[in-house]
Amino acid sequence: MPSACHTCRRRRVKCDFRTPKCGRCEKSGVECLGYGKLITWVQGVASRGKMMGKSFEPSSAPSVSRSTEIRIQVQRTLMDPFLQDLSSEARHYLNHFYSRVWEDLVIYHLPMQTWNPCSELYWRSQTCPAMFHAIMAMAAYHRYNLITSKERAQGILVDALQWKQGALIRFQTMLSQVHPTTCVQVLVCSMLLANVDLLESGRDTWQLHLDSAVRLISLMGPGIRSLAGRPEHGGNLFDQWVISSILIQSIFGLTFSPSVGHHHLSILNNPTVRVLDSLVFAEGNHFLSCPAELASCIVLAFQTQEDFGTPCRDACHDLYESVQQFDPAAWATAMQCWTPVNDYRERLHIGSAYKTAVVLYLSRMLPNFSPGGCTPERQTGLVQAVIGHISQVPPSSALFKSTIWSSFVAGAEATDPHHREWVAAHLDAISAQIPWNTTVTATEALREVWRRVDLPQTEPLSAPRNWIQEFRHLKVAVFPA
């Protein structure tokens, strides 16, 4: 029988023998000392030569006058064997990912909290080459995007391409050997590779990775039924984090996709997948920070459009009522249990902006959605409301990144040049702070849609162009988030 970890032995508790860190220590929030041999300092006993066997007490430091400044440089040895095998450049990329890139993926980065998906990802990547290469590719692309002078950053771009190629090659090997025990690793790699593409260009290929990940989630069957909406319900937190991140990004990726296929809907409506639980899990700290109720309304709209073709007024009315019943203030209050700081004010505006943006989006997606119709005056008022809420979230806020989708929808609906200029400037400000090319690509697509909807109508009495249809006519899968 294997020996317990050193920490559990000292605490006299039962160890679960999980590697590289035991799960009992992780849940208790204590440091796991592992299973290997511990090295203890014994006051410097000489092991060879004439002084063999003798020990020495540490000498007292000589007195130093206060006017004398002594600086001591200590050459530290890396404690993690995994890091010792990496080049200094590779360690720099790794540090950039966990200190900078990770901040873009979450609302709050809390390295010292009891459970952190960041640390779990770090440990798992040590035994999964595809995962590690994808992480390094993300870090390299992120660094490249931060540098203004691209001529001076060609070496970083080459590194990014090489890391990405290495990740794809190793991921292909993983796919040929998929096993129930490696499903989560495959999901993580799919999610990371999608993010690599979002960093690189934000065009098309990211959706392939997310689609394959969602398909795998649906095939995992009963193994996913333990997924609970909140951490206190139990289950594997890391698995929940991976699945919820994939599903929320997939749903928002579909909002401006060239097409929403039947296979997407069959997966999202599969009761085994339990999409709502994942959306609840994600709304607290995923960078989108979208209320689960509103995200589920978007999924329901996809299904309504698929079932009816041209949805009936009753179905649209029920969906409209579901959106209207969402209370941003109650949601912002509930979120305070899961945030390290009081961000009620920002969450209130984020929730309100999402609510109004969902109304705008569904009014164009489902012709019979809005009981009040899509009059220019009403739509302009909704655009102003979204902009008003978003403008209350300052760039210094951790939730600033959560305003992308709402502002994008408001910009797509806007016909007033001032509203369009505000949205474009807002998206540019986000791109400057969060250097993901997906926002740049989405903004370019938005400008092209503005050009299209402003073209003169061939028939004087024809209805205004639908910007959702114009996005789909571009045949480019943009990710405005």
**Residue 219 tokens, joined:** 């095939």
What pLDDT is recorded for position 234? Answer: 41
For residue 286, report the phi and psi dihedrals to the nearest 5 degrees.
-70, 145
Instruction: Give me the average pLDDT of each 10-residue run along the chain (481 residues).
Output: 76 76 71 70 50 50 42 48 83 94 91 76 92 97 92 92 96 88 92 96 87 85 47 65 92 83 64 80 93 94 72 81 96 93 96 97 84 82 97 96 97 96 97 94 94 79 74 86 79
Whole-prediction pTM value? 0.80
Q: What topology is assigned to 1-40 in CATH?
A: CD2-Gal4 (4.10.240)
What pLDDT is recorded for position 222? Answer: 54
- Residues with Cβ < 8 Å from 297, sequence gap 6 or more? 319, 322, 323, 358, 362
Its sign, for the CA torsion 236, 288, 316, 329, is positive
What pLDDT is recorded for position 385? Answer: 98
Which of 8, 44, 1 lies closest to 24 in space, CA to CA? 8
Q: What is the dihedral of CA 53, 54, 57, 61, to 10 degrees?
A: -110
What pLDDT is recorded for position 114? Answer: 61
**Residue 364 tokens, joined:** 């164009």
Quote the CA–CA distance of 43 and 55 in Å, as a whole number: 7
End-to-end CA distance of the chain: 50
What pLDDT is recorded for position 186? Answer: 94
- Residues with Cβ < 8 Å from 442, sequence gap 6 or more? 202, 256, 404, 408, 427, 478, 479, 480
What pLDDT is recorded for position 42? Answer: 47
90, with CB counted inside 10 A (0-12, 13-18, 19+), is: middle
Beta-bridge partners for 106: 286
Q: Is residue 331 within 8 Å of 267, Cβ to Cβ?
A: no
- What residue ranges of the chain are covered by domains with CATH 4.10.240.10? 1-40
Quote the CA–CA distance of 323 and 357 in Å, as a whole number: 10
- Residues with Cβ < 8 Å from 164, sequence gap 6 or more? 133, 134, 137, 141, 196, 200
One-letter identity of residue 25: C
